[in-house]
Structure 1
Amino acid sequence: MSRRCLRLNLRAGEMLPVDLGWRIEQGYVWLARCCPSGDPLTLGVWGPGELVIPALIGFSGLELRSLSAVVVEEEQPSSTQEREFLEGQLRQASILLLLSRVRPAESRLLHLLDWFGTRFGTMTSQGVMLRFGDRLLTHQQLADIAGMTRVTVTKALTHFRQSGVLATQAGGALLMRVSASELWDCP
Protein backbone atom coordinates (compact mmCIF):
# COMPACT_ATOMS: atom_id res chain seq x y z
CA MET A 1 0.00 0.00 0.00
CA SER A 2 1.48 3.35 -1.00
CA ARG A 3 1.65 6.22 1.45
CA ARG A 4 -0.40 9.34 0.61
CA CYS A 5 1.55 12.57 0.58
CA LEU A 6 0.22 15.56 2.41
CA ARG A 7 -0.64 18.62 0.32
CA LEU A 8 -1.21 21.99 2.00
CA ASN A 9 -2.59 25.33 0.82
CA LEU A 10 -1.56 28.04 3.29
CA ARG A 11 -2.00 31.78 3.64
CA ALA A 12 0.90 34.10 4.42
CA GLY A 13 2.14 33.67 7.99
CA GLU A 14 0.94 30.11 8.52
CA MET A 15 3.29 27.43 9.84
CA LEU A 16 4.32 24.17 8.21
CA PRO A 17 5.43 21.06 10.12
CA VAL A 18 9.24 20.99 10.31
CA ASP A 19 9.55 17.22 10.61
CA LEU A 20 8.59 16.65 6.95
CA GLY A 21 10.21 17.42 3.60
CA TRP A 22 8.25 19.88 1.44
CA ARG A 23 8.27 20.56 -2.31
CA ILE A 24 7.14 24.14 -2.85
CA GLU A 25 4.76 24.32 -5.79
CA GLN A 26 3.71 27.93 -5.31
CA GLY A 27 4.77 30.69 -2.96
CA TYR A 28 7.68 31.23 -0.58
CA VAL A 29 8.65 29.88 2.84
CA TRP A 30 11.02 31.10 5.53
CA LEU A 31 12.86 28.95 8.06
CA ALA A 32 13.91 30.57 11.32
CA ARG A 33 14.86 29.78 14.89
CA CYS A 34 14.25 32.16 17.77
CA CYS A 35 17.34 33.48 19.54
CA PRO A 36 17.40 33.71 23.35
CA SER A 37 16.38 37.37 22.93
CA GLY A 38 13.20 36.20 21.17
CA ASP A 39 14.27 37.62 17.80
CA PRO A 40 14.09 35.25 14.82
CA LEU A 41 17.32 34.10 13.18
CA THR A 42 16.83 33.43 9.47
CA LEU A 43 18.15 30.06 8.31
CA GLY A 44 16.79 30.09 4.77
CA VAL A 45 14.19 31.18 2.24
CA TRP A 46 12.82 28.93 -0.50
CA GLY A 47 10.51 29.39 -3.46
CA PRO A 48 8.65 27.57 -6.23
CA GLY A 49 10.17 24.26 -7.33
CA GLU A 50 12.50 24.02 -4.35
CA LEU A 51 12.65 21.29 -1.73
CA VAL A 52 13.01 22.24 1.93
CA ILE A 53 13.90 19.63 4.57
CA PRO A 54 14.07 21.43 7.94
CA ALA A 55 14.81 18.27 9.95
CA LEU A 56 18.21 17.95 8.23
CA ILE A 57 19.36 21.26 9.72
CA GLY A 58 19.55 19.63 13.13
CA PHE A 59 18.21 22.39 15.42
CA SER A 60 15.26 22.22 17.73
CA GLY A 61 12.82 25.10 17.88
CA LEU A 62 12.68 25.66 14.12
CA GLU A 63 9.74 27.46 12.53
CA LEU A 64 8.87 27.03 8.86
CA ARG A 65 6.49 29.83 7.94
CA SER A 66 4.81 30.82 4.68
CA LEU A 67 5.80 34.29 3.44
CA SER A 68 2.99 34.37 0.87
CA ALA A 69 0.13 32.14 -0.18
CA VAL A 70 1.79 28.73 -0.44
CA VAL A 71 1.02 25.38 -1.99
CA VAL A 72 3.35 22.63 -0.78
CA GLU A 73 3.42 18.90 -1.10
CA GLU A 74 5.12 16.51 1.26
CA GLU A 75 8.07 14.76 -0.32
CA GLN A 76 10.14 11.84 0.90
CA PRO A 77 13.62 12.96 -0.21
CA SER A 78 16.17 10.59 -1.65
CA SER A 79 19.72 10.63 -0.29
CA THR A 80 20.76 12.65 -3.37
CA GLN A 81 18.03 15.23 -2.67
CA GLU A 82 19.11 15.41 0.97
CA ARG A 83 22.71 16.06 -0.06
CA GLU A 84 21.62 18.73 -2.58
CA PHE A 85 19.45 20.40 0.07
CA LEU A 86 22.34 20.47 2.56
CA GLU A 87 24.70 21.91 -0.06
CA GLY A 88 22.17 24.62 -0.91
CA GLN A 89 21.56 25.25 2.78
CA LEU A 90 25.29 25.75 3.33
CA ARG A 91 25.36 28.34 0.54
CA GLN A 92 22.32 30.14 2.01
CA ALA A 93 23.77 30.05 5.53
CA SER A 94 27.03 31.56 4.25
CA ILE A 95 25.20 34.39 2.47
CA LEU A 96 22.95 35.04 5.45
CA LEU A 97 25.98 35.14 7.76
CA LEU A 98 27.65 37.69 5.50
CA LEU A 99 24.44 39.71 5.35
CA SER A 100 24.12 39.73 9.13
CA ARG A 101 27.44 41.59 9.38
CA VAL A 102 26.61 44.33 6.86
CA ARG A 103 26.41 47.75 8.51
CA PRO A 104 24.56 50.07 8.51
CA ALA A 105 21.21 48.30 8.66
CA GLU A 106 19.96 50.21 5.59
CA SER A 107 22.78 48.67 3.56
CA ARG A 108 21.95 45.20 4.95
CA LEU A 109 18.38 45.56 3.69
CA LEU A 110 19.57 46.58 0.24
CA HIS A 111 21.91 43.56 0.13
CA LEU A 112 19.05 41.28 1.23
CA LEU A 113 16.79 42.64 -1.52
CA ASP A 114 19.62 42.14 -4.01
CA TRP A 115 20.00 38.52 -2.89
CA PHE A 116 16.24 37.99 -3.19
CA GLY A 117 16.42 39.52 -6.67
CA THR A 118 19.17 37.11 -7.65
CA ARG A 119 17.26 34.09 -6.31
CA PHE A 120 13.66 34.96 -7.08
CA GLY A 121 13.55 38.10 -9.22
CA THR A 122 12.86 38.66 -12.89
CA MET A 123 15.39 40.63 -14.94
CA THR A 124 13.89 43.43 -17.01
CA SER A 125 15.44 46.17 -19.12
CA GLN A 126 14.95 48.57 -16.19
CA GLY A 127 16.32 46.35 -13.41
CA VAL A 128 15.23 43.37 -11.34
CA MET A 129 11.51 42.93 -10.60
CA LEU A 130 10.89 41.43 -7.19
CA ARG A 131 7.67 40.10 -5.70
CA PHE A 132 6.76 37.09 -3.58
CA GLY A 133 3.75 35.43 -5.07
CA ASP A 134 0.82 37.79 -5.27
CA ARG A 135 2.48 40.52 -3.21
CA LEU A 136 5.69 41.93 -1.81
CA LEU A 137 6.85 40.97 1.65
CA THR A 138 5.57 43.14 4.48
CA HIS A 139 7.94 45.51 6.24
CA GLN A 140 7.71 43.26 9.32
CA GLN A 141 8.63 40.15 7.30
CA LEU A 142 11.63 41.96 5.80
CA ALA A 143 12.64 43.14 9.28
CA ASP A 144 12.43 39.62 10.72
CA ILE A 145 14.42 38.10 7.87
CA ALA A 146 17.09 40.83 7.94
CA GLY A 147 17.35 41.08 11.73
CA MET A 148 16.15 44.69 11.81
CA THR A 149 13.22 46.64 13.22
CA ARG A 150 10.15 47.32 11.14
CA VAL A 151 10.64 51.07 11.58
CA THR A 152 14.19 50.84 10.17
CA VAL A 153 12.93 48.83 7.18
CA THR A 154 10.18 51.39 6.48
CA LYS A 155 12.64 54.31 6.66
CA ALA A 156 15.17 52.49 4.45
CA LEU A 157 12.59 51.57 1.80
CA THR A 158 11.35 55.17 1.75
CA HIS A 159 14.93 56.39 1.30
CA PHE A 160 15.59 53.82 -1.48
CA ARG A 161 12.45 54.93 -3.34
CA GLN A 162 13.27 58.61 -2.97
CA SER A 163 16.84 58.07 -4.20
CA GLY A 164 15.67 56.01 -7.20
CA VAL A 165 17.31 52.75 -6.13
CA LEU A 166 13.86 51.12 -5.84
CA ALA A 167 10.59 51.81 -7.57
CA THR A 168 7.17 50.41 -6.75
CA GLN A 169 5.48 48.87 -9.76
CA ALA A 170 1.85 48.08 -10.52
CA GLY A 171 0.60 45.25 -8.35
CA GLY A 172 3.06 46.03 -5.56
CA ALA A 173 6.22 44.59 -7.09
CA LEU A 174 9.54 46.29 -6.42
CA LEU A 175 11.92 47.22 -9.21
CA MET A 176 15.57 47.30 -8.12
CA ARG A 177 17.45 49.67 -10.38
CA VAL A 178 20.90 48.96 -8.91
CA SER A 179 22.89 45.97 -10.15
CA ALA A 180 24.34 43.39 -7.80
CA SER A 181 27.90 44.36 -8.75
CA GLU A 182 27.23 47.86 -7.43
CA LEU A 183 26.10 46.49 -4.07
CA TRP A 184 28.33 43.59 -3.06
CA ASP A 185 31.68 44.39 -1.51
CA CYS A 186 32.72 40.75 -1.22
CA PRO A 187 32.10 37.65 -3.38
Structure 2
Amino acid sequence: MAISMSRRCLRLSLRAGERLPANLCWRIEQGHVWLARWSAGLDPLTLGVWGPGEVVIPALIGLSGLELRTLSPVVVEEEEASSAMEREFLEEQLRQAAILLMLSRVRPAEARLLQLLDWFGTRFGTMTSQGVTLTFGEKLLTHQQLADIAGMTRVTVTKALTSFRQAGVIACQAGGSLLLRLPCSKFLD
Protein backbone atom coordinates (compact mmCIF):
# COMPACT_ATOMS: atom_id res chain seq x y z
CA MET A 1 0.00 0.00 0.00
CA ALA A 2 1.35 3.40 -0.98
CA ILE A 3 0.65 6.34 1.24
CA SER A 4 0.51 9.69 -0.45
CA MET A 5 1.17 12.77 1.61
CA SER A 6 -0.05 16.00 0.15
CA ARG A 7 2.37 18.87 0.15
CA ARG A 8 1.37 21.65 2.50
CA CYS A 9 1.44 25.08 0.96
CA LEU A 10 2.29 28.17 2.93
CA ARG A 11 -0.31 30.86 3.38
CA LEU A 12 1.04 34.14 4.69
CA SER A 13 -0.44 37.44 5.78
CA LEU A 14 2.19 40.17 5.82
CA ARG A 15 2.38 43.89 6.48
CA ALA A 16 3.70 46.41 3.95
CA GLY A 17 7.48 46.35 3.58
CA GLU A 18 8.00 42.73 4.60
CA ARG A 19 9.95 40.22 2.51
CA LEU A 20 8.70 37.05 0.90
CA PRO A 21 10.99 34.13 0.04
CA ALA A 22 11.98 34.71 -3.60
CA ASN A 23 12.63 31.01 -4.21
CA LEU A 24 8.94 30.05 -4.07
CA CYS A 25 5.94 30.51 -6.34
CA TRP A 26 3.29 32.81 -4.83
CA ARG A 27 -0.34 33.51 -5.74
CA ILE A 28 -1.35 36.95 -4.51
CA GLU A 29 -4.80 36.91 -2.96
CA GLN A 30 -4.75 40.45 -1.54
CA GLY A 31 -2.33 43.32 -1.82
CA HIS A 32 0.65 44.05 -4.05
CA VAL A 33 4.24 42.85 -4.19
CA TRP A 34 7.37 44.33 -5.75
CA LEU A 35 10.34 42.41 -7.14
CA ALA A 36 13.71 44.18 -7.18
CA ARG A 37 17.40 43.53 -7.35
CA TRP A 38 19.65 45.87 -5.43
CA SER A 39 22.62 47.32 -7.29
CA ALA A 40 26.11 47.75 -5.86
CA GLY A 41 25.22 51.38 -5.08
CA LEU A 42 22.34 50.08 -2.96
CA ASP A 43 19.71 51.39 -5.37
CA PRO A 44 16.88 49.02 -6.26
CA LEU A 45 16.21 48.00 -9.84
CA THR A 46 12.51 47.27 -10.22
CA LEU A 47 11.78 44.03 -12.09
CA GLY A 48 8.02 43.92 -11.61
CA VAL A 49 4.91 44.68 -9.58
CA TRP A 50 2.04 42.21 -9.12
CA GLY A 51 -1.40 42.40 -7.55
CA PRO A 52 -4.42 40.32 -6.58
CA GLY A 53 -4.99 37.16 -8.60
CA GLU A 54 -1.51 37.19 -10.12
CA VAL A 55 1.26 34.63 -9.69
CA VAL A 56 4.88 35.60 -9.15
CA ILE A 57 7.75 33.12 -9.60
CA PRO A 58 11.00 35.08 -9.03
CA ALA A 59 13.24 32.00 -9.37
CA LEU A 60 12.36 31.77 -13.09
CA ILE A 61 14.13 35.07 -13.75
CA GLY A 62 17.44 33.36 -13.07
CA LEU A 63 19.20 36.17 -11.19
CA SER A 64 20.70 36.01 -7.73
CA GLY A 65 19.99 38.65 -5.14
CA LEU A 66 16.31 39.13 -5.97
CA GLU A 67 14.12 40.57 -3.27
CA LEU A 68 10.34 40.18 -3.19
CA ARG A 69 8.71 42.76 -0.90
CA THR A 70 5.17 43.61 0.00
CA LEU A 71 4.02 47.09 -1.06
CA SER A 72 0.87 46.84 1.00
CA PRO A 73 -0.60 44.37 3.45
CA VAL A 74 -0.80 41.09 1.52
CA VAL A 75 -2.20 37.62 1.72
CA VAL A 76 -0.26 35.17 -0.43
CA GLU A 77 -0.37 31.44 -0.89
CA GLU A 78 2.43 29.24 -2.09
CA GLU A 79 1.63 27.44 -5.34
CA GLU A 80 3.00 24.46 -7.21
CA ALA A 81 3.90 26.08 -10.50
CA SER A 82 2.60 24.32 -13.60
CA SER A 83 4.20 24.75 -17.00
CA ALA A 84 1.32 27.00 -18.04
CA MET A 85 1.78 29.18 -14.93
CA GLU A 86 5.50 29.46 -15.60
CA ARG A 87 4.91 30.44 -19.22
CA GLU A 88 2.27 33.02 -18.23
CA PHE A 89 4.57 34.48 -15.58
CA LEU A 90 7.50 34.75 -18.00
CA GLU A 91 5.32 36.44 -20.63
CA GLU A 92 4.05 38.95 -18.06
CA GLN A 93 7.59 39.46 -16.74
CA LEU A 94 8.81 40.25 -20.25
CA ARG A 95 6.01 42.81 -20.74
CA GLN A 96 6.75 44.44 -17.40
CA ALA A 97 10.50 44.50 -18.06
CA ALA A 98 9.93 46.27 -21.38
CA ILE A 99 7.60 48.84 -19.78
CA LEU A 100 9.94 49.44 -16.85
CA LEU A 101 12.87 49.86 -19.23
CA MET A 102 10.92 52.43 -21.25
CA LEU A 103 9.91 54.23 -18.05
CA SER A 104 13.52 54.33 -16.83
CA ARG A 105 14.44 56.42 -19.88
CA VAL A 106 11.69 59.03 -19.43
CA ARG A 107 13.04 62.47 -18.57
CA PRO A 108 12.47 64.58 -16.59
CA ALA A 109 11.92 62.50 -13.47
CA GLU A 110 8.51 64.08 -12.85
CA ALA A 111 7.28 62.80 -16.22
CA ARG A 112 8.59 59.34 -15.32
CA LEU A 113 6.62 59.38 -12.06
CA LEU A 114 3.45 60.49 -13.84
CA GLN A 115 3.83 57.70 -16.41
CA LEU A 116 4.48 55.18 -13.59
CA LEU A 117 1.25 56.27 -11.88
CA ASP A 118 -0.53 56.03 -15.23
CA TRP A 119 0.79 52.47 -15.70
CA PHE A 120 -0.33 51.55 -12.17
CA GLY A 121 -3.74 53.02 -13.03
CA THR A 122 -3.93 50.84 -16.15
CA ARG A 123 -2.89 47.69 -14.24
CA PHE A 124 -4.52 48.15 -10.86
CA GLY A 125 -6.87 51.14 -11.02
CA THR A 126 -10.61 51.51 -11.30
CA MET A 127 -12.06 53.79 -13.99
CA THR A 128 -14.58 56.33 -12.71
CA SER A 129 -16.33 59.29 -14.31
CA GLN A 130 -13.66 61.57 -12.76
CA GLY A 131 -10.60 59.55 -13.81
CA VAL A 132 -8.80 56.49 -12.50
CA THR A 133 -8.88 55.64 -8.80
CA LEU A 134 -5.74 53.95 -7.58
CA THR A 135 -5.12 52.33 -4.21
CA PHE A 136 -2.74 49.71 -2.89
CA GLY A 137 -4.64 48.08 -0.08
CA GLU A 138 -5.47 50.43 2.75
CA LYS A 139 -3.52 53.39 1.37
CA LEU A 140 -1.46 54.65 -1.52
CA LEU A 141 2.19 53.75 -1.76
CA THR A 142 4.60 55.82 0.30
CA HIS A 143 6.76 58.42 -1.37
CA GLN A 144 9.80 56.21 -0.66
CA GLN A 145 8.14 53.17 -2.28
CA LEU A 146 7.30 55.22 -5.37
CA ALA A 147 10.87 56.55 -5.45
CA ASP A 148 12.36 53.05 -5.21
CA ILE A 149 10.11 51.69 -7.96
CA ALA A 150 10.68 54.67 -10.27
CA GLY A 151 14.41 55.01 -9.63
CA MET A 152 14.07 58.48 -8.13
CA THR A 153 14.74 60.17 -4.81
CA ARG A 154 12.00 60.51 -2.23
CA VAL A 155 12.39 64.30 -2.29
CA THR A 156 11.82 64.40 -6.07
CA VAL A 157 8.71 62.22 -5.68
CA THR A 158 7.32 64.48 -2.95
CA LYS A 159 7.92 67.64 -5.01
CA ALA A 160 6.41 66.05 -8.12
CA LEU A 161 3.29 64.82 -6.29
CA THR A 162 2.80 68.30 -4.78
CA SER A 163 3.10 69.83 -8.24
CA PHE A 164 0.64 67.27 -9.69
CA ARG A 165 -1.87 68.04 -6.92
CA GLN A 166 -1.56 71.80 -7.46
CA ALA A 167 -2.05 71.35 -11.21
CA GLY A 168 -5.15 69.20 -10.60
CA VAL A 169 -3.64 66.14 -12.31
CA ILE A 170 -4.06 64.04 -9.16
CA ALA A 171 -6.21 64.30 -6.06
CA CYS A 172 -6.17 62.43 -2.78
CA GLN A 173 -9.45 60.77 -1.91
CA ALA A 174 -11.00 59.44 1.26
CA GLY A 175 -9.80 55.98 2.19
CA GLY A 176 -6.24 56.60 1.00
CA SER A 177 -6.82 56.31 -2.72
CA LEU A 178 -5.48 58.56 -5.44
CA LEU A 179 -7.51 59.95 -8.31
CA LEU A 180 -5.60 60.30 -11.57
CA ARG A 181 -7.36 62.88 -13.70
CA LEU A 182 -5.80 61.85 -16.95
CA PRO A 183 -6.68 59.06 -19.29
CA CYS A 184 -4.59 55.95 -18.79
CA SER A 185 -2.18 55.94 -21.69
CA LYS A 186 -2.00 53.16 -24.19
CA PHE A 187 1.65 53.75 -25.05
CA LEU A 188 2.63 51.35 -22.25
CA ASP A 189 0.29 48.54 -23.34
TM-score for the superposition, normalised by structure 1: 0.97
Name the CA distance, whole Å, in 2 between partners of 1:41 and 1:112. Answer: 14
Task: Pick the structure with greater CA Rg.
Answer: 2
The corresponding residue for 2:160 is: 156
Name the CA distance, whole Å, in 2 between partners of 1:9 and 1:180. Answer: 31
Equivalent pairs counted in the alignment come to 185
Structure 2 residue corresponding to 1:53, chosen from 57, 61, 64:
57
Name the CA distance, whole Å, in 1 between partners of 2:172 and 2:166. Answer: 11
Structure 2 stretches of 5 or more lacking a match?
Answer: none
The corresponding residue for 2:20 is: 16
Q: Which amino acid aligns with 2:61?
A: I
Name the CA distance, whole Å, in 2 between partners of 1:103 and 1:17. Answer: 34
CA contact (8 A) 2:37 2:44 kept: yes
The corresponding residue for 2:39 is: 35
Q: Which amino acid aligns with 1:61?
A: G
Structure 1 stretches of 5 or more lacking a match?
Answer: none
The corresponding residue for 2:11 is: 7
Q: Which amino acid aligns with 1:95?
A: I
**Residue 30 (structure 2) pairs with residue 26 (structure 1):** yes
Q: CA RMSD in A?
A: 1.1
> What SS class does the counterpart of residue 41 from structure 1 fall into?
strand
Aligned identity (percent) is: 78
* C-alpha deviation, 1:179, in angstroms: 1.1
> What SS class does the counterpart of residue 137 from structure 1 fall into?
coil
Name the CA distance, whole Å, in 2 between partners of 1:158 and 1:136. Answer: 15
The corresponding residue for 1:107 is: 111
* C-alpha deviation, 1:13, in angstroms: 0.3
Name the CA distance, whole Å, in 2 between partners of 1:170 and 1:7. Answer: 31
> What SS class does the counterpart of residue 27 from structure 2 fall into?
strand
| Runs of 4+ displaced beyond 2 Å | none
Q: Which amino acid aligns with 2:150?
A: A
Structure 2 residue corresponding to 1:84, chosen from 80, 88, 95:
88
The corresponding residue for 2:172 is: 168
1:53-103 CA-partner distances (Å, limit 9, x unpaired): 000011000000000000000001100110010000000000000000000
CA contact (8 A) 2:33 2:69 kept: yes
* C-alpha deviation, 1:180, in angstroms: 2.7
Name the CA distance, whole Å, in 1 between partners of 2:92 and 2:46. Answer: 15
Name the CA distance, whole Å, in 1 between partners of 2:121 and 2:151. Answer: 19
> What SS class does the counterpart of residue 42 from structure 2 fall into?
coil
